[in-house]
Structure 1
Amino acid sequence: MPPVFSVTSDQLSVWLVMFLWPFVRMLALISTAPIFGESRVPRHVKVGLAALLAIVIGPTLGPLPAVPVVSLPGIWIITQQVLIGVAMGFSMRLVFTAVQAAGEYIGLQMGLSFASFFDPTSGGQTMVLARLLNMLAMLIFMAFDMHLMVIAMLVESFQVLPIANAPLAANGWMLLVLSASQIFSTGLMLALPLVTTLLTINLAMGILNRASPQLSIFSIGFPVTLLVGIAMLRLQLPHLGPFLEQQFAAVMTSMLQVIQALRP
């Protein structure tokens, strides 16, 4: 007679906890992280990837809290995992937001503020130049295997900040808010060479207009600004990769610091 395979309710509860709580943190990160969280990625792909990672990583985790899932402490743990995953994903989004901000600054100086279209990712109108730089940043992100580094950091987060019933520390949220200030500084640093050049061109045309009033600056100003902006952008793009590589490395360090600061 073949052996009878039986599963008790306690075993099912342990398996559910081992899968559900890591799955929630992973799904929150995948839904907000660059590349993975794009609106063009189907939802079932995000859920499937998070489930696959939870199945692989779940058995490697240490002892989990002996808390039923369908209980107030269990719901609190799920909420914590969502917050941790969103915090990690938001940390990675800072670089791409800074690149889009740089595209906005450059587009305004080049006179391309009217060249915008609906961006389904942000849910609003976005300048074409900002979208172009964002696409290049995504390609560089994948070229440096940063999407694999995000998954590796996600696995490491369970060692740095294990699943527990204890409340998260407030220092992590403060550090996350302070790191958001890098959006403006990094975006301005990226756009500063081109913005400075275009500002010099505008000042030169203003002086030329004062020296020769019969010269129509309005008819030649826009083509000159646009051509100079495209030329400067062509010179700056080869240096975009090394610049973003440093920013991605800094963001990884910042993400680890946020996780450590959230630890109670």
Structure 2
Amino acid sequence: MIDITSAQWQAWLQLFFWPTVRILAFVMASPLWGMPSVPRQFKVLFGVGLAFAIAPALPPMPNVPLFSLASVGIMLQQLLIGVAMGMVLRIMIAVVQTAGEFISMQMGLGFASFYTPDSGTNTMVLSRLFEMLTLLMFLALNGHLICIEILAWTFEVLPIGATSIDASFAETLARWGGTIFTSGLLLAVPIVTALLLINLSLGILNRASPQLSVFSVGFPMTLTAGLVLMTTLMPDLGGFLSGLFDQQLRFMQGMIEQMAGAGG
């Protein structure tokens, strides 16, 4: 008869519990797996299954009882790491959403919005379109597999309970949020500039010929021009998104290394 002691049970629980917390925090915070349309049962099963897959290769767990204050501190640390990684991917999606809002406002589609359960707010149509295209491109370029690889790598750089976290990463992550406006504006600038020139031309035309109504001519013209420019932009969208993915994933890796800086 095989006898299993309480210490062995605790060691097995420690081996799977804390990695699962970090993985589930990342899954819930990421825009891909964390969508409300994804069933919660799948999220939990995915996190637990991934923890079981990488647990045998993890460094030894700290000898801390699961039901203790030290265990709570370790769990909060794992939550912080997972949420921080998910926020990097959220910033990536926010970049294209911001670009969609810039273009929508210039095209006259500011009122063309609908409720999205992902964000809990009204989202403009072009923002939602760019978001879907970005997620599909992310999957096509195996970005989700790279994220899982980085997530498994974090257990080597930030072993569970074996290191402290450098708090300066929070400022770096906050500053990185400025990418939402810089990269988003960079994506939208060609279309916004062209539409701005069209609006200026219509304004001059209205001054030269007051009987020509800008409201009856300008809106169809800007909308049609915007659609044509969007069609022209699409072939180059893949290159922009590829660079954006590479930039965000490299930042995620650098952020994890910065978080491990205090631990040596």
Query: One fold, TM greater than 0.5?
Result: yes
- Aligned pair 1:130/2:127, yes or no? yes
Partner of 1:14: 11
Distance in 2 of aligned mates of 1:217 and 1:62: 68
Partner of 1:202: 199
SS in 2 for 1:125: strand
Ranges in structure 2 where 5+ consecutive residues have no aligned partner: none
C-alpha contact 1:77 1:165 (8 A) present in aligned 2: no
Kindly tell me the number of residue pairs found equivalent between the two proteins. 261
Distance in 2 of aligned mates of 1:35 and 1:241: 18
Q: 52-61 or 192-201, which moves further after superposition? A: 52-61
Give the residue type in structure 2 aligned to 1:34: P
C-alpha contact 1:110 1:198 (8 A) present in aligned 2: yes
C-alpha contact 1:94 1:183 (8 A) present in aligned 2: yes
Q: Superposition pairs for residues 107-186 of structure 1, below 5 Å?
A: 107-164=104-161, 166-186=163-183
SS in 1 for 2:4: coil
Distance in 1 of aligned mates of 2:35 and 2:224: 33
SS in 1 for 2:45: helix
SS in 2 for 1:6: coil
SS in 1 for 2:159: coil
Give the drift of 1:51: 0.3
Distance in 1 of aligned mates of 2:163 and 2:126: 45
Give the drift of 1:165: 5.3
Give the drift of 1:63: 1.5
Distance in 1 of aligned mates of 2:218 and 2:82: 48
- Aligned pair 1:61/2:58, yes or no? yes
RMSD of aligned residue pairs (Cα, Å)? 0.9
Partner of 2:230: 233
Distance in 1 of aligned mates of 2:132 and 2:158: 32
When normalised by structure 2's length, the TM-score is 0.97
Partner of 1:75: 72
Cα 1:76–1:165 shift into 2, 3 Å: farther
Give the residue type in structure 2 aligned to 1:15: W
Give the drift of 1:90: 0.5
Distance in 2 of aligned mates of 1:250 and 1:215: 48
- Aligned pair 1:100/2:66, yes or no? no
The correspondence for 1:245, drawn from 242, 245, 254, is 242
CA offset digits 1:40-85 (Å, max 9, x no partner) = 1000101001101111111211122111111001000000000100
CA offset digits 1:127-186 (Å, max 9, x no partner) = 111101111111101010101111011001111111125431111111111111101111
Give the residue type in structure 2 aligned to 1:221: G
Distance in 2 of aligned mates of 1:142 and 1:82: 25
Distance in 1 of aligned mates of 2:70 and 2:238: 45
SS in 1 for 2:36: coil
Give the drift of 1:121: 0.3
Distance in 1 of aligned mates of 2:172 and 2:160: 21
Partner of 1:38: 35
The correspondence for 2:189, drawn from 188, 192, 195, is 192
Ranges in structure 1 where 5+ consecutive residues have no aligned partner: none
Distance in 2 of aligned mates of 1:252 and 1:160: 16
Give the residue type in structure 2 aligned to 1:33: S
Give the residue type in structure 2 aligned to 1:58: A
Distance in 2 of aligned mates of 1:37 and 1:141: 15
C-alpha contact 1:68 1:74 (8 A) present in aligned 2: yes
Give the drift of 1:216: 1.4
Distance in 2 of aligned mates of 1:92 and 1:134: 12
Give the residue type in structure 2 aligned to 1:79: L
